[in-house]
Amino acid sequence: MAWIESHTALRRHRKTVALAGELRLKPEWVMGHLHALWHTALDQQEDGDFGAWTDPMIADAAGFKGDCHLFVSLLRKHGWLDGDLLHDWLDYAGRYLRNKYAKNNRQKLVVIWAKHGLAYGTGEHLVSQPNANTMPTECQHQPDIPNQTDHQPNVGGREKPSTDPGYHPDKVPKAQAVVDRFQSLTQRASSAGNAGIRAVIGCFIDGFTSEQLGEATEAYVVDCKKKNRKFMSCMRFYGDGHFKDFLGKQPGEQRIDPAEHNRKQGERYGGKPLPPKPGS
């Protein structure tokens, strides 16, 4: 039977109280949602990496019935999710995972620990921003080891490779450069961490180049400043595909708003504004 550690300080922890306040729930209920999420992770995503999960899936795993996007964003805001990773996951599930895999699948533990920035067996922190020269060889993909959880589910009938930096040491330096450029242009003081690198590596896997991402970023920054909009996070811009809206655009180029275009087209032909297309 799978199990996780549950610490007595959880009920009164400042992060629990803060999350409860923003969700307008009792801290005891938030504890229940957190435990439901951890239990689901241990059953279905035992590396604690929700990179392949949507917000509705995460909220459902936690048993939360309200606004799923708000719930997940608050989990990140208050430090229960570090990007796509469960915060301090190995503090809760590490002992169980070691008991399960230490004897027959040590490599799986090496991969899981590396996801959380730790070297299995020593507990030492890996470099915060790994590169091709510092990534431990044990963290590289081992396709012949069974029961790996390092691949995302099938998408469109094909299996999408993992975006974990440990499996793409050759892509990490370029991904880091893209992330640094984004952080510099958007003047974000906080580090994007591995979540930003993962998102950019996903773009590389999909066939986009660092030059394309850089041009899209510059166009996005100009657009946000012109419209006085708040910058989204690096992980969201690249990971959720928002950069595609700015591909091929010159910085400052006017974007066409679909609703405004339909309104003008309707007025041009003397009729009512056309209804917006689904997804506009």
pLDDT of residue 31: 93
Phi, psi of 13 (to 5 degrees): -65, 140
pLDDT of residue 32: 94
**pLDDT, tens digit (0-9, with 9 covering 90-100), for 214-227:** 999 999 999 888 88
Other CB atoms within 10 A of residue 272 CB: 10
Residue 155 has pLDDT above 70, yes or no: no
Going by the DSSP 8-state scheme, the letter that residue 48 receives in this structure is: -
**pLDDT, tens digit (0-9, with 9 covering 90-100), for 159-185:** 444 555 555 677 788 888 888 888 888
Q: For the chain, what are the domain ranges? A: 1-126, 172-246
Buried b (16+ CB within 10 A) or exposed e, 199-231: bbbbbbeeebebebbbbbbbbbbbbeeeeeeeb
**Taking the model in full, what pTM does it have?**
0.46
Maximum separation of any 2 CA atoms in the chain, in Å: 75
Residue 234 has pLDDT above 90, yes or no: no
Q: Grade residue 260 by pLDDT with cuts at 50, 70 and 90.
A: low
pLDDT of residue 73: 92
**pLDDT, tens digit (0-9, with 9 covering 90-100), for 67-86:** 999 999 999 998 899 888 99
Distance, in Å, from the CA atom of 101 to the CA atom of 116, rounded to the nearest integer, reads 17
Residues near 153 by Cβ (< 8 Å), separated by ≥ 6? 52, 159, 160
Distance, in Å, from the CA atom of 168 to the CA atom of 184, rounded to the nearest integer, reads 24
CB 214 within 8 A of CB 249: no
Q: What angle do CA 70, 22, 89 make, to 5 degrees?
A: 70
Other CB atoms within 10 A of residue 105 CB: 15
Alpha-carbon Rg for the chain in angstroms: 21
**pLDDT, tens digit (0-9, with 9 covering 90-100), for 180-204:** 888 888 876 555 556 677 788 888 8
CB 61 within 8 A of CB 37: yes
CB 236 within 8 A of CB 246: no
pLDDT of residue 60: 94
Angle between helices 193-205 and 172-185 (to 10 degrees): 120
CB 179 within 8 A of CB 192: yes
**pLDDT, tens digit (0-9, with 9 covering 90-100), for 27-36:** 999 999 999 9
Q: What angle do CA 143, 145, 148 make, to 5 degrees?
A: 85
